Amino acid sequence: MVDQIENEGMKSLIENITAIQVESPVDKIIGQLKQLIVSGQLKPGDRLPAERVLSERFGVGRSYIREAILKLEFYGLLRTNPQSGTYVAGLSINVIDNIISDIIKFNKDDFNALIEARYHLELNAVKLAAERRTDEDLESIKSAMEDYEKKASTGGDAVEEDMVFHIKVAKATKNSVIESMILILVPDLIKNIVQNKICGDNRAKTAIEEHRKIYAAIESQDMAKAEEAMASHLDEIWQISKAGFAAQNIINEAEV
Amino acid sequence: MVDQIENEGMKSLIENITAIQVESPVDKIIGQLKQLIVSGQLKPGDRLPAERVLSERFGVGRSYIREAILKLEFYGLLRTNPQSGTYVAGLSINVIDNIISDIIKFNKDDFNALIEARYHLELNAVKLAAERRTDEDLESIKSAMEDYEKKASTGGDAVEEDMVFHIKVAKATKNSVIESMILILVPDLIKNIVQNKICGDNRAKTAIEEHRKIYAAIESQDMAKAEEAMASHLDEIWQISKAGFAAQNIINEAEV
DNA sequence: TGATTATTTTTGGTAAACCAATTAATTGGT
DNA sequence: ACCAATTAATTGGTTTACCAAAAATAATCA
């Protein structure tokens, strides 16, 4: 156990230490690959040197090379053909450069950015959901809503039930990309929301009302009303979040 | 080389073959982990069995286990502490279940979903960009715009220069999450756009005008005008895309 | 008996080895 | 000189072995 005294100083020290070695091997590799491309040694469409070669050239194990390639593949910058090789996407160097630069620093721990992105995404999502929802979607959303109400009325924080409600709405958009994006944000949202104690008894009561409004709008397929209801729902969370975050932004214990 | 004759039949045959073995090892592992959690053998907050144990239990190499964990970590569902273990996020089983189900089938190759998501994202982005752009942003956007005009006026397809323009706008939002999301979509967008030949000489000319309108709106920080300009810009692409896609959706050669 | 230090075990991090498939090269025949 | 078939080398896919750090356990001393 760490001493309770002087844990402030200890914290900043720890942060410095982790900050120094924060450059993970894979990010370094990605950076070097970027350099290869930007410098012209590797042109779009070219085949990458074999993993073994890269491994040796960068002085690192092949596992890291594979991990880096995997990450870049997710972003569509590389394409790997089994038993043949890995190829650079046919994008211009400018595009590749821009994207790689930001892959390295892609982290969702910017609280405001997270909430803001969620806000815009969900506003669009609820409109699409209202437009396209099937009866099955409606059933699913309703069920999630009732779960939330049950949990919230017993006093517990129903953050996760709330999120399930929103996930079900996202599913009703019939747009897998938008749905996936919301899905990516959800765990971080939950973490931040519970961390900043957005949830109180009075809040839960009003949220129930808001959910019902959203549901009703989706049911009647009223896109405008759905957007309005979602906006007021999220606005409130946003405001509380900002206040709570300002008060508690020191406490960032690294637990799951 | 494959025979030119009967390549239609050959194609469908190949598609069947790949469709059968499409269940990648990591997706299978993710599915099994999900099962462990849903069945209650693994509760939120618990520590996962050691990688070696999972490796043995699932009858697969440790690399795949690590790959699967990496993927779930990206979605915030697992947290791995070096030399200690990997832990399940403290989310409710319901949330985890919902998210994992969709991770497996997360693919950006749904053409309409891609364009639609981009449409909504960029509309929000351009508003934020107009609100928050710095002079440096403006300079950067302008430079990208001029690159596009240069390329487009020489007759070549300037899809990528176009994308750089949009990336620069995204950067000006000062929202790293929204920016990252757009970045993730860009390579797939380019692929689809060039595949469906959205770009023509007349199109390039009108696009130049649209870009200038967008730029002017961002410069004068007029959010409404920016949104309007972006909407008309994207609307046109969307329409052409849909038409082009309907005509060419058979030709899906798997090249980078 | 209780705290503290050694020691052993277990962990994820890392590198290397093995495999089947593909590609390039070489060889042999025409 | 050219083409076919066979062999050799190279590829990513997959598994295994090794490492230092952490945790858990055992042993030691006050």
Q: Of A102-116, A195-209, B92-106, B120-134, which has the strongest mean pLDDT?
A: B120-134
The pLDDT of residue B154 is above 70: yes
Tell me the pLDDT tens digit for each residue of A210-242. 999 999 999 999 999 999 999 999 988 788 766
CATH 2.60.120.260 fits B7-104, yes or no: no
Residues of A with CB below 8 A from B88's CB? Answer: 256
In the block, residue with structure tokens 């469709």: B19
Per-residue confidence at B155, pLDDT binned at 50, 70, 90? confident
What's residue B247's pLDDT? 54
The pLDDT of residue A135 is above 50: yes
Within 78-107 of B, beta carbons closer than 8 Å to A belong to 79, 87-92, 94-95, 98-99, 102-103, 105-107
CB pairs under 8 A between A and B: 155
The pLDDT of residue A1 is above 60: no
Tell me the pLDDT tens digit for each residue of A59-107. 899 999 999 998 898 888 999 988 889 999 988 888 898 888 877 766 6
Q: CB less than 7 Å from strand C: which protein residues? A: A 25, 55, 60-64, 82-84; B 48-53, 62-63, 66, 80-86
Average pLDDT value for residue range A191-216: 82
User: Side chain identity at A252, as an amino acid letter?
Assistant: N
Domain B7-104 and domain B111-248, same fold? Reply is: no
Out of B20-24, B115-119, B177-181, least confident range? B20-24
**Rounded to an integer, what distance in angstroms lies between the CA atom of residue A166 and that of residue A119?**
12
Average pLDDT value for residue range A152-168: 88
CATH architecture of structural domain A111-248: Up-down Bundle (1.20)
Of all residues in chain B, the one with the smallest CA distance to A88 is B256
The domain limits of chain B are 7-104, 111-248
